[in-house]
A and B are shown apart, each in its own frame.
Chain A
Amino acid sequence: MGQRVLVTGSAGNVGTNVIQQLMMSDEVDIVVGIDPVGAHPLKRDLEPLVPVYPFDLRDQAAVLRVLKTDRITAVVHLAAVMGTWVNSNPLLNFEVNLGVSAMLYEACRAAGVHRILYASSKALYEGLEPVAGGWVENVVLPTRPYAIAKFASESLGRRIAEQDELQFVGLRFADFLGVEQLKRPPGRRGAAKTLTKIVAAGIYEQPIKLRVGADTCIDPMYTPDLGRAVTALLVKDELRHDTYNVGAGWPGITYSQMVEACRDRYGSNSYRMVDSVGTVYHSVGTSANAAAKSANRGVLNTSRIEGEIGERSRRFHEFLPSLEADIESDRAGGLIPSEAGEWLEETGLLALRQPATADE
């Protein structure tokens, strides 16, 4: 008998990819989603594929009803409030990122769910140096609200699991790129991340100014690969760890190297790298990783997934053609808002319409 899976935060960047990959697995019988967002473009993409229940996860009775009615065996808990703004809204952060998790865990136990994959956060690695070739263990010292709530939520899940048949697994995702990030409405929080914009700028022939450190090293992952990794962890009988870094693996890639790869592919007019290590990144956000990034530290050092599921996630150079094809295809199909190009220049991170001159 296959898994019967509930995905929370199903209309998010990760959620949509996880659901698509779960749907393709022979070891998954049914997939349902919960996401309270309204007419969201990603949700519209999902709804022909799977039922997406529209209620708020704080409605514990409704969650329990879904778990029991659909006889859910595994939950991928991705729902969260996130973004730099969350750190200045501590109450909302804790109500959702900890309180909702606790409610969900309780409901899962009551409904006999046997595995929870929980989207913890790489923010828990705040301030840690990468350890090349090794795994980052659970040595975490979170100080920001988002990371504290994730830490508390992860700790809670792990301790509940110790007392029960329930298996709890914390996932710490790397930075990721995917076409879905271009489908979000302009001006919405959580819109396309800088990494995806780097590629989109080449395709859209949109000049782009990166106000992050050129030598900042990251571990970017293609979102369908991320969905595959989560699916693999979900269907695998035995897991060796209770937390996983989900990334393409160390060594990562710097922003400079990403831009170089795109410059080679799309031409040079779209890109200008402003090297501002340690300065500008602080001014545009207070992400838990900002300090580590600006200090040119990797955030995730390697992926535990490789050894576990026997396949390696693609590196940036390897998945770039696939991402490009996704963007071209969805753009031609009218699935990416036509104002995406305009929106690229509105973000503030990416400000130059004209190719930069030497004195800018």
Chain B
Amino acid sequence: MSPRTVVEIEVRTDTSVAVHRRTGAEGPPTSDPADTPLSWTVVDWSRWLADDQAPSTMIIPSAFPGTDPRDAQQARVWADSVVACVRLLEAARHAEIGVSAPPVRANREWDDARRDTEGEITEYIQDRLLELFSDYGVAVRRA
């Protein structure tokens, strides 16, 4: 049985994606050998997973790309970015692939004041999404 791979998804601020792959948990990360330019907001993760050697785990970033919805030009990107995260989690759910994400906060008690900044709102939403997909059966790990 071939060792399962872990892929780590890096989403850059311009929403481009680099996929770093390693065999097992300990191998050094490498850039995606296919070096296919991916865009976080449009990539079809279901197809990508079908074409790829199905990894056992996808590591996703702690938050969505560093877009700021307060910037008019970025509002759409931010929303698309949230949708992209849902798309990835849906793909993982159907492919039965685990998802690992950095812990959002040690203290998971959110309140309104802490959601004043955009990063906090983004984190909050991702936190809720991970919890939601965990309920749907996706193995979610906060590493």
| Chain A interface (Cβ < 8 Å from any Cβ of B) | 90-91, 94-95, 98-99, 101-103, 105-106, 109, 137-145, 148, 151-153, 155-156, 159-160, 162-164
Contacts and interface: CB of A to CB of B under 8 A. Distances in A.
Given A140-B112, A145-B132, A109 B72 contact: yes
B125 A152 contact: yes
Contacts of B78: 102, 156
Interface stretch (B15-23, B26-34, B82-90): B82-90
Interface string B127-143: 01101110000000000
Contact of B76 (A94, A103, A151): A103
A148 B129 contact: yes
A219 to B, nearest CB: 23
A99 B79 contact: yes
Contacts, number: 75
B123 to A, nearest CB: 12
Nearest to A137: B112
B96 interface: no
Q: Is the interface of A mostly helix, strand, loop or mixed?
A: helix
A152 B79 contact: yes
B10 interface: no
Given A143-B131, A156-B75, A159-B70, A99 B112 contact: no
A152 B120 CA distance: 12
Nearest to A152: B125
Contacts of A145: 132
B24 interface: no
Interface of B: 69-72, 75-76, 78-80, 82-83, 86-87, 89-90, 110-112, 115, 118, 121, 125, 128-129, 131-133
A141 B109 CA distance: 10
Nearest to B86: A94
Contact of A91 (B69, B71, B87): B87
B76 to A, nearest CB: 5
Nearest to B118: A159
Nearest to B115: A155
A127 to B, nearest CB: 13
Contact of B70 (A98, A106, A163): A163
Contact of B83 (A91, A156, A163): A91
Nearest to A98: B79
Contacts of B129: 90, 148
B136 to A, nearest CB: 8
Nearest to B85: A94
A90 B86 contact: yes
Which of B79, B80, B118, B131 is the most central at the interface, judged by chain A CB atoms within 10 Å of its CB?
B79
A142 B69 CA distance: 20
Contacts of B112: 137-140
A148 B125 contact: yes
Given A99-B79, A148-B128, A163-B70, 14 more contacts: A94-B82, A94-B86, A98-B82, A101-B79, A138-B112, A143-B128, A152-B79, A152-B125, A155-B115, A156-B69, A159-B69, A160-B70, A163-B71, A163-B72
Given A90-B132, A160-B69, A102 B75 contact: yes
B70 A99 contact: no
Which of B72, B89, B129 is the most central at the interface, judged by chain A CB atoms within 10 Å of its CB?
B72
Nearest to A110: B72
A90 B90 contact: yes
Contact of B121 (A106, A139, A155, A162): A155
A140 B114 CA distance: 12
B78 to A, nearest CB: 7
A356 to B, nearest CB: 37
B75 to A, nearest CB: 5
A8 to B, nearest CB: 16
Contacts of B75: 102, 105-106, 156, 160
Contacts of B128: 142-143, 148
26 contacts: A90-B89, A90-B90, A90-B133, A91-B83, A91-B87, A94-B82, A94-B83, A94-B86, A98-B79, A98-B82, A99-B79, A102-B75, A102-B79, A106-B72, A106-B76, A139-B111, A151-B125, A152-B121, A155-B69, A156-B69, A156-B79, A160-B69, A160-B75, A163-B70, A163-B71, A163-B72
